[in-house]
Structure 1
Amino acid sequence: PVFGVAAVIGEAMGFFALAVFVAHSAGYLAKLALHPDAVRQEFTDPVTGNFFGQLAISLLLLSSVLMPYGQAFAQGLWTVGVAVTLALALLVGSRLLKGKLDAAHMLPVWIIPGVGVLDIGVTGGHMPMAWAGEVNLMAMAVGAMVALVLWTLIIHRLAHGEPLAPRMRPSLMILMAPFAVGFLAWVNVFGQVDRFAGALFYFGLFVFVVVSPKVFRRDVPFSPGWWAISFPIAALANAAIVYAHAQGGAVLHGLAGMLLAVLTLALAVLTVRTLHWVFSGKLFAV
């Protein structure tokens, strides 16, 4: 239990995430069957193509959710997630080296495949396969460098290019993800919260403080793109809980509780607003 909250709540949220993943996958498979050209265009697009990294991240995270209920299935799901994640990372690297990339397309969503590689270490630190340790170490190396390169390119574009359109501003929260997820991967792979892990956590917290005033504004309209804030905040809240547990102290525990409250509120608002869009027909008009 975390902060005295029953573990069953976390399990319920895990199965809710599984249900959302199944529903979303079924819908997109239907779209693939009915409109294959549209899916192909989305996959090859320099911006929307990066969202396919969420598929790999979902497979990796769901393997952790399902581990207590079927180890063999969870290990197989993690293995598939690793293969998909690395394939997408190779694709991103290939796109970068192709040249003539429009700087306007260098948006925070480019980080998603790199963060996905780091999630291999987050979810695979306790995998029993003999080869898992080397895969986790490779994922740490590849994910860290890919995320660092992309983060630098994106910051350059944000500093010197046109400001992001209001509907794209929630994606700024993704800039925090490499450091929060990197913290979790480091701790899971190496088994300790050391000074380097602490530095990753604190820089992720710094980025969160910097981008929050630019994201949580009244002039930023709601759209499905707001879900981009969910996984970075979840990663930071998780990192804060792990760091507070390792270091102790009322301040760190209070910070972890505050971030967990922010995450809970964000997920509740996003769910309610999205359901409103679904039943009002606005979602399918986007």
Structure 2
Amino acid sequence: MQASSIPSSPPALHPRSQASVRNLPVNLFAAVMGLSGLALAWRLAHGGLGAPAVIGEAIGALAFGVFVLLSAGYLAKLVKHPDAVHAEFHHPVAGNFFGTIAISVLLLSAVAAPYSAGAAQTAWALGVAATLVLCFVVVSRLLKGQVDASNAVPAWIVPCVATLDIPVTGAHMPMAWAAEVNLLAAAIGSMMALVLFTLIVGRLVHREPLAPAMAPSLMVLLAPFAVGFLAYCNLVGGVDRFAALLFYFGLFMFAVVAPKVFRPGIPFSPGWWGISFPMAALANAALQYAQARASGPLWALAIVLLGVLSVALAVLLLRTVRIAVDGTLLRP
């Protein structure tokens, strides 16, 4: 989702050549999601494969830094240009990306857990509240009716899959209420993900293809199954055959959408970060599944997915830094 799809002020007031925090897109928080997911994947690789622990911890620190930077920028946008934030939140597509902020907080709570249990629990509780409220708002908005079916795009999944990240990151939270909240979130996330997945696939099958700039968001289609695998395993305390079904369907969806995403002719934009967390969730699922099955081929698959994820995020990070430095990121 490009920032240019969000309504903006008249060109006379904001020339196209002028960089402004007004144009900072909320979907850039997907970078925090991807980096946090990559950090957690390297932690699993440290435990299962003996990878250096410093890799995952360094990436986790980077995720925290990016979150602080983006939060400061978006807070400045809220203070200086509340109309732009209002328009972005109510946009039928871009509004769903506010879920990336809530997911980022949840994932960072897991990244912080080994260093400070108190900070992790506080961040998780805040993430839970934000996630449930946002999911309620988004679903209520959809059920008002008269929604243009052409707007049923993969981004719709984000606020609802966010609820699945609650049990992914909170399975070991010690609060007395955490277990029931995890079940509540899993119930909401699993059912809404199936409903929205069906609606979105129907739109993709029966209507015009997505615009090239939105093609990277197709990767979100594997998120309900990869994240669902992680949430389910945390809830039941292990990997069973149903978990395997979720993992393998997520892997199948990755194989289907990857050629549609990684093809020439799609311009780079912050929307490309939409590929990061679904791929990170799949890599984490593959590492956890390989460890449970103790299978050589599964470990090989997990290593390949982790390698592809690491390279993809390194490329995205470098290209994002480049457009940030030259001012393109904050231009309409």
Q: Which residue of 1 aligns with 2:256?
A: 210
Give the aligned length. Answer: 286
Residue among 40, 49, 53 paired with 1:3: 49
* 1:122-133 aligned within 5 A: 122-133=168-179
Looking at structure 1, the residues matched to 54 and 234 of structure 2 have their Cα atoms a distance apart, in angstroms, of 23
Matched, 1:66 2:140: no
Write the distance in 1 (CA, Å) between the matches of 2:176 and 2:331.
Answer: 49
Shift of 1:45: 1.1
Q: Shift of residue 65 of structure 1?
A: 1.1
Distance 1:31 1:129 in 2: 35
Residue equivalent to 2:58:
12
1:195 aligns with 2:245: no
Structure-to-structure mapping, 1:269-284, within 5 angstroms: 269-284=315-330
Q: Which amino acid aligns with 2:164?
A: L
TM-score by length of 2: 0.85
Give the one of 40, 44, 55 matched to 2:101. 55
Partner of 2:31: none
The separation in 2 between residues aligned to 1:284 and 1:274, in whole angstroms, is: 11
Partner of 2:264, secondary structure, is: coil
Q: Which structure 2 segments of 5+ residues have no match?
A: 1-45
TM-score normalised to the size of structure 1? 0.98
Find out whether 1:119 has 2:170 as its counterpart. Answer: no
Distance in 2 between residues matched to 1:55 and 1:279, nearest whole Å: 23
Shift of residue 4 of structure 1? 2.4
Q: Which runs of 4+ in 1 moved over 3 A?
A: none
Q: Report percent identity of matched pairs.
A: 62
Aligned 1:142-181 pairs, distance under 5 A: 142-181=188-227
Q: Which has the higher contact order (CA 8 A, sep 6+)?
A: 2
Two-structure CA RMSD over aligned residues (Å): 0.8
For 2:61 and 2:92, the matched residues in 1 are separated by 32
* Structure 2 partner of 1:134: 180
1:184 to 230, 233, 248: 230
Matched residue type, 2:270:
P
* Alpha-carbon distance in 1 for matches of 2:50, 2:175: 34
CA distance in 2, matches of 1:113, 1:277: 27
The residue identity in structure 1 corresponding to 2:184 is M
Which stretch of structure 1 is more off in the superposition, 89-98 or 236-245? 89-98
Pairwise CA distance, 1:87: 0.4
Q: Helix, strand or coil for the counterpart of 1:130?
A: coil
State how far apart, in whole Å, the 1-side matches of 2:242 and 2:203 are: 28
Instruction: Out of 62-71 and 165-174, give the one that drifted further.
Output: 62-71
SS at match of 2:209: coil
